[in-house]
Amino acid sequence: MSDARFLCLEKLTLSYGKNVAVPEMNLDIGKGELVALLGPSGCGKTTTMRAIAGLMEPSSGAIILDRVDITRTPANKRPVGLVFQSYALFPHLNVYENVAFGLKLMGIRGKKLDDKVQEGLRTVGLSKFATRKPAELSGGQQQRVSLARSMVMEPKVLLLDEPLSNLDARLRLEMRTELQRVQKESGVTMIFVTHDQVEALAMADRIIVMLDGHIEQIGTPEDIYNRPVSDFVADFVGFENVFALEGRKLKTPTGTVELSDTPPRDAKGLAWRPSMVTLGDGPFEGTIRGTSFAGGTREYLLDTPLGPIKAECDASLPAHEFGSVLKFDLPVTKAASLSRVGSL
Amino acid sequence: MTNKLFSPIILLLVLAFLIGPFLIIIAASLSAGETLAFPPQGLSLRWVLKVFEVESFRASFGISMFLAIGGTLAALILGIPASYALSRYKVPGAETIRTIVSSPIIVPGIIVGLALLRYFVVPFNFGILFALFLAHTALILPYAVRVVSASLNNLRSDIEEAAVLLGSSRIGAFFRVVMPNIRGGILAAFILGFVTSFNQVPVSLFLSGPGVRTLPIDMLAYMEITYDPSVAALSALLAFMSLGIVFLAERFLGFSRYV
Amino acid sequence: MFQNRAEAFALVLPAAIFAAVVFLAPVLILLSEGFRSGDSWTIQAYIDFFSQSLNQTVFLRTLKLAALVTAASAVIGYAAAFAIVNLPPKGKGRITGLVVLPLMISPVARTYAWLVILGRTGFVNKALVAVGLSDEPIRFLFTETAVFIGLLQLFLPLMIISLISALENMPRDAVPAARVLGANWLQVFTKVILPLTKEGLVIGGTLVFTGSMTAYITPAILGGSKVLMLETLLYQRVTVANDFVSASVIALILIVMAFAANLLLKRLATARNKR
């Protein structure tokens, strides 16, 4: 049975001394969800995660986990696991002992302990490395030990801090699927913190985009990717041409501009990916100031009365020359309509 | 190139100057003659053996041992928690505290001994041995804090958080995951403290009383009375003891990493 | 970083209180005695101290010997450290070990050795007479030269290891680059090595200067009452005359000079750098 309010943050306020890092945050996370906390550094995502783990005491508000208020529960008594960005393996213990650490503290001994540790190691494919010390493992292997060490505790929520950031590109892809597999097989509620939108889009069931201590948008990867609600989220997921609206007109550095279509009634702004810009035809004109070949496509930077515009064409089409003047259009039908334009 | 010839000569001279006297002392202590001399007059172990017969050397050796071991342990008991707090907590006034704790390294030892004699031993009727113990502890404290802090700073602090999240208490986390990882640093601090205390003279100068003297002070006193090679023999023995300790520490710990 | 203040204080206070009570307080009271006369504060003791010619001699001698030992150890230290740094790694470790070794040996033992070497019937005198360079033994002991040699031997290792680590932190190509640009060895030293290793020189210099100035054993054994330095004078004032006021004055002079030396060396290093 699914529970949509398995982990609830209620008006959670987190501060460092007088600096409020996260003001009155409300958030519900369902049981068994794989959620990404996405945002730039300093947005409060790590702080939020540390508060859920109990490593930081909230100045007000509540954290409810599985209908139990754990706001004041000390970190060592919370059914929450955390995989640290640097893995935080105990250097003096070998892989087996690292995984057994928490279980022993729970009073588990003998065969039961061994079974659980072996199973944990098997899940992450490290049975052969049981007697190695952390220093003798690669980054990816350390990550797996850290994951196993948390998973054997059977936490209700597993938190991961930038789980892929210390891995090289190839391992990162491998670890993505690995994490998803472990999560699906165990059904644990998993929240991972990341600043990488690609990672969040690829892995998460649901993405929470944070900015300056508040939640900017919550949605499925498709929602976030196709229907960003604010200029910040739009820019973050690749809508590189973002404009505020003034009435029905586009606000630009040189004044307002009439569009070819009428924007949706409640839109406060519009955003286009480079691929959404029509090149070669339309009411606007721009000069090509930069081109770059990106394999399947060719990207153009245009200098226009609307400001700089990024556009993209199929690379098989003939290239436009540097300095040439082109007509283009920003089609309203393709644009993402934004309900908030904070910084424009 | 001149450098090719110049370097070995310089090194040879410098090492001869630094190590030579020590070799000469060993040779002199093996003399069979009555007075201190080099080259030795004949070879014998009589002065080396005599060292063990001198009553006051035995007593003062015991006292120096007690001070070196007890003082270092006390300094570590005070210093480890302080180092931990300074490296892991936001301590208000951390700089001031650091200065206070490390001040014994700045002030000449003779002054410390004199001050303790004048304001502790005399007015409060403190035992000399107790005053010596306090003085040596204070003297070693800066070394303990410095070496232990260095090894704490080399250890990531998130392992303590990881231990707590796996169910350990804060104190438990310290003993389960911090202590085992700074053991080398603590041992290095112990050896450094031991050697410093054992060889220490100025602090102990004023702190000696009837039957209570540290070994180096006792050696100084003995030298004023007699000119036989027993002090040379004792010096050589002590040097070998220090070297033995340092050698073992280096062998098993890589001691020099910590100092 | 943990935030809990009570915990932090509970951990750090025992050490801080211990050092403050056992060490800082008595030393400060001792220092204050030099400024007291009955109930009023005065610097009379300092005027008295410096008006006696013996004290002046001892003060100047202490400064002179400490400065000479520092200068000599800097010159020898650079030569030795440079030679050591350019050794192959294995030899470097061993020679560094040999240089550090004496630091672990009791200063009493190390100073005592010089009695055997420099004494009337010592090694050097025997050699001189045997070779015929001298008819009768020369008096080395209880001279400033003996104290200088003893102090240099005691503190040279500190300078060498400070300079070794400074030289090792110097960019590898700095010296070859200067040579390629046409600098001779003297210019390489003054324009490249010295500015790049000045921090090591300041650290080593402070250690050697302070160490020499506050050494007790060396002047006591090799200088005796003929070559008093501030520490031996302090000891004598207390044990012979029960004169705690002079002791307090000397104590403060020692501390002030240690800080002054450190500041001066730092100043010299930065001044060089500006040019």
Q: What is the pLDDT of residues C45-102, one digit of tens each?
A: 999 999 999 999 999 999 999 999 999 999 999 999 999 998 888 888 888 888 988 8
Please tell me if residue B154 touches chain A, with a CB cutoff of 8 Å.
no
Share of residues in chain B with pLDDT > 90 (%):
46
Domain positions in chain A: 7-230, 232-338
Q: By mean pLDDT, which of A300-314, B196-210, C257-271 is the weakest? A: C257-271
Strand order, beta sheet including A214-219: A80-83, A157-161, A189-194, A34-38, A206-211, A214-219
- Give the CATH architecture of domain B48-257: Orthogonal Bundle (1.10)
* Model pLDDT, residue C57: 95
Mean pLDDT lowest for which of A239-243, B29-33, C216-220, C250-254?
B29-33
Asked if C15 is an interface residue toward chain B (Cβ–Cβ < 8 A), one would say: yes
Q: What percent of chain B is modeled with pLDDT above 70?
A: 96
> How high is the pLDDT of residue A2?
56
The pair of structure tokens assigned to A325 is: 């003047």
pTM of the model: 0.84
C85 touches chain B (CB under 8 A): no
pLDDT for res B32: 81
Question: What is residue B71's predicted lDDT score, i.e. its pLDDT?
Answer: 97
Q: Kindly state the average pLDDT of the residues C114-122.
A: 82
pLDDT surpasses 70 at B258: no
**What count of residues does chain A have?**
344
- Looking at chain B, which residues constitute the CATH 1.10.3720.10 domain(s)? 48-257
Looking at the predicted structure, is the pLDDT value of residue C274 above 80? Answer: no
Buried b (16+ CB within 10 A) or exposed e, C185-213: eeebbeebbeebbbebbbbbbbbbbbbbb
The larger pLDDT score, comparing residue C218 to residue C130, is at C218
Q: Tell me: pLDDT of C242 over 70.
A: yes
pLDDT of residue B254: 66
CB A124 within 8 A of CB A144: yes
Q: Which residues in chain B touch residue A104, judged by CB atoms under 8 angstroms apart?
A: none
Q: What is the pLDDT of residue C25?
A: 92
With a cut of 90, say whether residue B107 has pLDDT above it: no
B231 — contact with chain C (CB < 8 Å)?
yes
pLDDT at site C273: 54
pLDDT tens, position by position, C198-228: 889 998 999 999 999 999 999 999 998 889 9
| B115/C30 Cβ within 8 A | yes
- The average pLDDT across C174-184 equals 86
Residues of A in contact with B165 (CB under 8 A): 53-55, 75-76, 78, 80-82, 150
Question: Which chains reach chain A with 3 or more Cβ–Cβ distances below 8 angstroms?
Answer: B
Q: In chain C, positions 174-233, which contact chain B (CB-CB < 8 Å)?
A: 214, 216-217, 220-221, 231
Q: What share of chain C is helix, strand, coil (3-state, %, to 5)?
A: 80, 0, 20
Q: Do B141 and C18 touch (CB under 8 A)?
A: yes
Cβ count near B226 (within 10 Å):
12
**Using 50, 70 and 90 to split pLDDT, how confident is the model at B256?**
low
Assign C184 a pLDDT band (cuts: 50, 70, 90).
confident
For B50-54, what is the mean pLDDT? Answer: 88
For residues B186-203, give the mean pLDDT: 91
| Class of A7-230 in CATH | alpha beta
Instruction: Give chain C's domains with CATH numbers.
Output: 57-274 (1.10.3720.10)
pLDDT tens-digit profile of B231-240? 888 988 888 8
CB of B100 within 8 Å of a chain A CB? The answer is: no
Q: Residue B229 above 80 pLDDT?
A: yes
Q: Tell me, what's the pLDDT at C123?
A: 80
The pLDDT assigned to C112 comes to 85
Assess whether pLDDT exceeds 60 at residue B1.
no
Q: Which residues of chain B are within 8 Å of residue C253 when distances are taken between CB atoms?
A: none
Q: Going from the first residue of chain A to its last (344 residues), give the mean pLDDT of each consecutive group of 10, the final group possibly shorter.
A: 84 91 95 95 93 94 96 94 94 96 95 96 93 93 94 96 88 90 94 94 95 94 95 93 90 86 89 93 92 90 93 88 92 92 75
CATH of A232-338, one of 1.10.1040.10, 2.40.50.140, 1.20.950.20, 1.20.1290.10: 2.40.50.140
pLDDT at C275: 43
Question: Using the beta-carbon criterion (under 8 Å), do B165 and A92 form an inter-chain contact?
Answer: no
Question: Do strands A60-65 and A68-69 pair parallel, antiparallel, or not at all (unpaired)?
Answer: antiparallel
Would you state the structure tokens that stand for residue A307, as one six-digit string? 């400001």
| C223 conformational bin, left if phi > 0, alpha if psi -120 to 50, beta if neither | alpha
- The C-alpha atoms of residue B47 and residue A47 are separated, in whole angstroms, by 70
In this predicted structure, the answer to whether residue C272 has a pLDDT above a threshold of 60 is no
Say which DSSP state B127 is in. -
Would the pLDDT of C12 be above 90? yes
